[in-house]
Chain A
Amino acid sequence: SQKIEQNSEALNIQEGKTATLTCNYTNYSPAYLQWYRQDPGRGPVFLLLIRENEKEKRKERLKVTFDTTLKQSLFHITASQPADSATYLCALVYSSASKIIFGSGTRLSIRP
């Protein structure tokens, strides 16, 4: 079965630095890879989507890369702020299955 690994359960960095989160998967590459933000006790909020034929996608201070050879996606937050502290989830969508598989998440803490 498909496995998704976000290899940092928690990440703690200094404000202003770039946060880099990793998402690795096994087996088949998804048609789409998504990143969500989840705050405690709340539902996830969509951030970015990248397709399998795209290498990189940017949105304001966020950047996502997708390497189907390495079976890996990197999620970057530049000029990080304490308000960026949250859990970030990567999610894979396989067009044949029409459902989303979520990773376990990385809890990011930005200290002032």
Chain B
Amino acid sequence: GAVVSQHPSWVICKSGTSVKIECRSLDFQATTMFWYRQFPKQSLMLMATSNEGSKATYEQGVEKDKFLINHASLTLSTLTVTSAHPEDSSFYICSAPGDRGVSYEQYFGPGTRLTVT
């Protein structure tokens, strides 16, 4: 099956710094990737849709200047949390749709645990 990786798997940073999270599709191409945030014991909240070669589409309430998304190739999307604050501490997960399109199964990365001190 298709594999999606994320790097790093966990990161601790100081308040005010920026953190970049990478999402890679290892054995398939993904023109679209999705970024989610998950707080403890809560469900996945879609933050934005990353589109290869064009601007990301952000969900309502998500600050695009704070969560910068770049989808520069068919296998890589990055999420940069700028000027991170403790309230940004969360589990960030990316996904990419299978080759039959977005309506079918999503392949999820293992997630990145961000802790802002």
Contact = CB atoms under 8 A, between A and B. Distances in A.
Interface of A: 31-32, 34, 36, 41-46, 49, 89, 93, 95, 98-105
Contacts of B111: 41-43
Contacts, number: 55
Given A103-B43, A105-B43, A43 B109 contact: yes
Nearest to B44: A102
26 contacts: A31-B103, A34-B105, A36-B106, A36-B108, A41-B91, A41-B111, A42-B110, A43-B95, A43-B108, A43-B111, A44-B44, A44-B95, A44-B108, A46-B105, A46-B106, A46-B107, A49-B105, A89-B43, A93-B102, A98-B103, A99-B46, A99-B49, A100-B34, A100-B46, A102-B44, A104-B42
Contacts of B105: 34, 46, 49
Contacts of A41: 91, 111, 113
